[in-house]
Every structure is written in structure tokens, then in C-alpha cells.
Amino acid sequence: MPTATPQVQTPKEESINESVLQNQAISVGHMYRDRVAKTPNAPAYQFAHVKPEGDTWETITWAQTKERTDAISAGLIALGVQPEERVAIASSTRLEWAFADLANMTAAAATTTIYPTTMADDVAFIISDSDSRVVFAENADQVDKLRGIKDKTPSVVKVVVFDATGVDTDDWVMTLADLEAMGKEYLAANPGAIDARIDGITGDMLATLIYTSGTTGQPKGVRLLHKSWGYEGAATEAIGILNSDDLQYLWLPLAHVFGKLLLTLPIQIGFPTAIDGRIDKIVDNLAVVKPTFMGAAPRIFEKAYGRIKMMMEGEGGVKLKLFNWASGVGKQVSELREQGKEPSGMLGIQAGLADKIIMTKIRDRFGGRIRFFISGSAALNRDVARWFDGMGLMIAEGYGMTETSAATTVNRFVAYKYGSVGWPLPGTEVRIAEDGEVLMKGPGIMDGYHNNPTATAETIDADGWLHTGDIGEIDERGFLKLTDRKKDLFKTSNGKYVAPSVIEATFKGLCPYVSQLLVHGNDRNFVSALVTLDPDAIQGWAAENGLAGKSYAEIVTSDAANKMMQGYIDQLNAGLNRWETIKKFTILDRDLTVEDGEVTPSLKLKRKVVTDKFKDVLDAHYAG
């Protein structure tokens, strides 16, 4: 293992009282019990009732939430689930996911997370490797998947289904309502059972088991302890970016560590969460819910920026001129605020006018109350981030991994730098190894990989430093900037290194029609790319270019689309080193999808999967 050498001492934030970290919760169960005791009648969750005539939203308090989770928790105890035994959740983001996870935490069980899109063989491995005793399944599709692998998952004694529509229950499958009824009966006879379980939890006990995507082999189960979640909650509260008056909109997959963190923070800090996993409803729901912050993957911001930009270009005339003018003013204001300054003089007057005419309308599209967004899981285009900031919608980009309990570094209101992922959370150390790899040490680091001591030893060195696999640098002010994944960096046959993620993120800020870009060229004599176009965004372009009514495949493979894309590629190449420029590209006849295993549920590109699947297309770039 390379020796970690500190590049710059991380700055201390004077406003942070680090003693707060000494008061972190013992466990998520303790944190939740304390939250209910402190604010029983405060709102905890908002959720949608889906109806043909339109959704209606309902709010429940912390006390009402506890009533539901106590019944589920006691039901698990009645089923024989013991402390630290695993209980899996195979579901999309919905209120019942949060209930099930909280029930696991108060029963002293550990949650194993499973994406609903995970293929049956991988589900079988995860359940078997984790030795999960109970599985919460979202619906009939998930139950059918579990029935199909029942012989491979002998540890499972019960499947509990959230939405029982079309599900035949039996000795192995029961409904959530039946589990709650069982739990209430158990509590009537054993009223102190849940408190006894919580009292028995220590910080060193397993809380969560999250399996990383296995693109190069079997998934690895990341063991996250209760003390790590307690630290994440206390450290995030300490830096002061969130408070009890906030309202979160949560759509991210809860099987992902970022989603799990965003479930934990409201318990620590006390703000409510509107929860709805339907990605196609995000924009509609923001207008109704009017949250103050939302976490998202970069793709969400890229799509929103692209749609607004295209809408303005479609309007043309005075509206487009005003939009471009306001965007330019916003950029200048953002650059000033990044330096800790505010606009004055003529720029101040222009900023006020731009805000009244354009920026307020942009913010209204996101509900009108957003204080900031949090971006994670992949690199965010700097220009897209600055445009949002210029519109009064700051994006606080952060960095973390499943192995670090999500958040490790994040930009703050008091100090931020676009293009960086901010400063470490208090209590976490970040160093740069001699080969440029980012190393981390702190309370959020995983306990190791489940049943895999070899992989653990390869990732955490003898001194406790986690080797992230990311290449980065720390500037003179202590901001961490990531260059690329160590394994993704490639060298052309001419001996020049290329960082594909940086190029891909840059392009998404230039082209409003792009969905995915994969930069390729390892051991090749030039760089080429695969491109997919956004199915929604491209329709408007097609209508304006004589392709209205054509299928997606016909539109994106047309000569007109290829010519349009070449123009954007030329713009990209103009800002790259000669050896990085994209000489050839192919627009694929379909977008990459989660269902086909080409992007993760958090919308991150699975580079190896895509490269292998479209090998013939890539090879054709270099033929002859």
C-alpha cells in the first residue's frame, strides 16, 4: 500500500462546535427514540395518495410514525429476529421503506438493502451472503422474484409484502398489515420489548449492509455500524447546513447509501421529509411539496438545466435574450459569492432586476422555497452548478462512498468552490497518497466487507486509511477536487493519460440533448465515444428539424442528429488537450437504462458493462 502523505492541512471551521460530535447518538434506534420524545407532534413524513384524478398529500407526525414502526418492529421480534440479524428490504423509495428500516433499527436488526431492479441471481447472492432472515418486498413483482430463488435463500423465514395487490399469501409470504397486527399483539403481552432492544444496542453493532454493484465479480457487502450513522448525523448537524425548519424532498433510491443518509439526517435534526420515489413526478411534486432542499444525482440537474435552456431557445426573441442576459448576470454573481463577496454597483442593480424578471420564475419551477440542493454519487458539471447558483439555487456538491457511510466531504454555505467537493466533515481526515489516490480516515468508515476479509485488507490499510480508488488533489484552501476514478483513467497508445469522467461531465454542460456519454480509448491511438440522447429532450429538436412523428431510434440515428451532435463535440474538443479530443463517436439507437444494467439506480454510468456490451461499436471506430 502507498504511504499517505498529507498535501495540505484541512482548515478548521471556527463556527463549528466539535463537541457536538461527542454527543452523537449511540445508535439509530436511540436517535429515533430521542427524536420522537423531543418532537412527538412535529411532522415527520409527507407522502402521496395516488389517485386517477390527481395525487393528494398527507402528513404524519413522529408519534404517528412511531406507532407504525413499533408494530412492525415488534412483529419482527415475534418472528424471532435477533439483534444484528439481517432483514432485507427489496423496494423502490416509498414511505413503507422508511417504516421497515426504522423497525429494523429499533428491533436491533440490521438492514440489508436491495434495489428492486436487481437481477434474481444477484438478489439470491445478497440474501444468502447476508444470511437475511426476513425480506420486505414491495409488490407482486418482488415476491415473484423471491419465490423463484427460494431454494437458494434458505435463511429467509418470512417475506413481508408492502403492496399485496395480486399476491397470494401463504406460510412464507405475509402482508405488512398482518405483520403489524402480529406486532401489536406481541406488544400487548410484552410492552417493554422495543425499549429493551434499543437499550441493548451499542455503537459497534451492525446497522446496515449495502452491497456494491458487482460489475467485476460478486457484489461486496459493506458493513456500516450504528456509530457511523450516529457520526454522520452529528457531523452534518454540526456544520449547520440543515435545521429543523427545513423540509426535504426525497426521491433517491433508499437502497443507495446516499438515500439511507438522507433518511437518517431528519431523525438527528428533526425536519420532515416528503418521500416519493417516482422520478417522473419530481418536477410536479416539487411545485406541490415546496421543499427547502433536495438531494439528487447530477443527471437530475443536467436534465433540468437542459429542459429550461431548450424551452427558452424555443421561445426565442426577447424571452431568450432576457434569459441569456440573466444567466450571464447570475454567473458573475455566483463567482463573487464563491469569493465571499456580494454584488454591488451596476452589477447589484442588474442582479436585482434579473432576479425579479427571470430568476424568481426559475426558482418557482422548483417550488419557490429551495435553499439549496445536495449533489452526490457522480461528478457534477461545474457550469451547470454555477448556473443554478446564479439563479439562486445553490448546489452543495459533496463526496462519499458506500464504504464511508455516504458523506465525507461537502461544500458549505460559508465556503464553497464549484468544481470541488468541499471540505471534510469535522472528525474526518483526508489525505492524498503519493500516486494521487484519495485516502480517508474517520468515524464514518465501514467496519469492512461482509464475509470478505481479503477485500477489506485491500481497501483499508494497516493504519486505518481507506483507499477510495479516486484520484484527487487538495488546494491551498483545503478544498478537495476529484479528477477521476483510478480504475477509469486510461492511457492511449501514444502514452497520454485521459480522465474520461471529467470530459463526460463537461460535455453534459454543453449539450442539452445528451443523456449519456462514454469516453473510450484505452491503448487506442485516439479517443472515441458512445453517445445516447435524452428521449424527452430530443422530441422538441426533432419537431424543429423535420423529424416529427419519427421513432426515437430513427431520430437519433438520422444524419441531422449526427450533424447536430458533431457541433457539440467540436465545442467540447475546443477546450480539451489534443490527445483528449474525441475523433469519432456513435449515437446509440436507444438510451442506457437501469433495467438493462447499464446505469445504476442513482443514474451513474456502469462503464465496464457498457463498454463490454457495445464492444463491436467501439471497435468499429478504430477499424482500418
pLDDT, residue 215, reads: 45
pLDDT, residue 334, reads: 92
Of the candidates 260, 123, 105, which has an alpha carbon nearest to the alpha carbon of residue 194?
105
State how far the Cα of 499 lies from the Cα of 476, in Å rounded to an integer: 23
Decide the pairing of beta strands 437-441 and 466-474: antiparallel
Does residue 307 sit in helix, strand or coil?
helix
Q: Residue 369: is it exposed, middle or buried by C-beta count within 10 angstroms (0-12/13-18/19+)?
A: middle
CA angle 404, 407, 413 (to 5 degrees): 155
Calculated CA dihedral for residues 618, 592, 516, 494, nearest 10 degrees? -20
The pTM assigned to this predicted structure is: 0.85
Of the candidates 362, 430, 434, which has an alpha carbon nearest to the alpha carbon of residue 401?
430
State how far the Cα of 250 lies from the Cα of 291, in Å rounded to an integer: 10
Query: What are the phi and psi torsion angles at 177 (to 5°)?
Result: -60, -40
The answer to whether 18-286 and 490-621 have equal CATH topology is no
Number of other CB atoms surrounding residue 215 within 10 Å: 14
pLDDT, residue 212, reads: 87
Copy the grid coordinates of residue 275.
418521500
pLDDT, residue 19, reads: 55
18-286 to CATH, choices 1.10.540.10, 3.40.50.12780, 3.40.50.800, 3.30.70.1350: 3.40.50.12780
pLDDT, residue 495, reads: 84
Of the candidates 98, 112, 319, 105, which has an alpha carbon nearest to the alpha carbon of residue 211?
112
296-485 to CATH, choices 3.10.50.40, 3.40.640.10, 3.40.50.1100, 3.40.50.12780: 3.40.50.12780
Question: Does residue 469 contact residue 399 with C-beta atoms inside 8 Å?
Answer: no
pLDDT, residue 52, reads: 82
State how far the Cα of 231 lies from the Cα of 408, in Å rounded to an integer: 11
Which residues, in sequence order, are CB contacts of 445 under 8 Å at separation 6+?
Answer: 228, 403, 404, 405, 460, 464, 466
State how far the Cα of 24 lies from the Cα of 234, in Å rounded to an integer: 5
pLDDT, residue 217, reads: 62
Helix 298-315 to helix 500-510 angle (10° resolution) is: 30
SS3 of the chain: helix, strand, coil, percent, to 5: 40, 20, 35
Question: Does residue 570 contact residue 514 with C-beta atoms inside 8 Å?
Answer: no
State how far the Cα of 168 lies from the Cα of 173, in Å rounded to an integer: 8
Decide the pairing of beta strands 490-491 and 497-498: antiparallel
Copy the grid coordinates of residue 140.
407482486
State how far the Cα of 436 lies from the Cα of 416, in Å rounded to an integer: 22
Of the candidates 221, 190, 219, 214, which has an alpha carbon nearest to the alpha carbon of residue 86?
221
Question: Does residue 10 contact residue 429 with C-beta atoms inside 8 Å?
Answer: yes
pLDDT, residue 234, reads: 94
Copy the grid coordinates of residue 442.
474517520
- Average pLDDT per block of 10 residues along the chain, 624 residues long: 43 52 88 98 95 89 98 98 98 97 98 93 95 98 97 98 96 98 98 98 98 71 97 92 96 94 97 94 92 91 86 86 94 90 91 93 94 87 90 93 93 88 93 93 96 94 94 92 83 85 87 92 91 89 89 93 95 92 94 86 82 93 85
490-621 to CATH, choices 3.30.300.30, 1.10.10.10, 3.40.50.620, 3.40.640.10: 3.30.300.30
Amino acid at 288: V
Question: Does residue 569 contact residue 450 with C-beta atoms inside 8 Å?
Answer: no
Decide the pairing of beta strands 220-225 and 173-175: unpaired
Where in the chain are the domains? 18-286, 296-485, 490-621
For 201-247, strand residue ranges (E) read: 206-212, 220-225
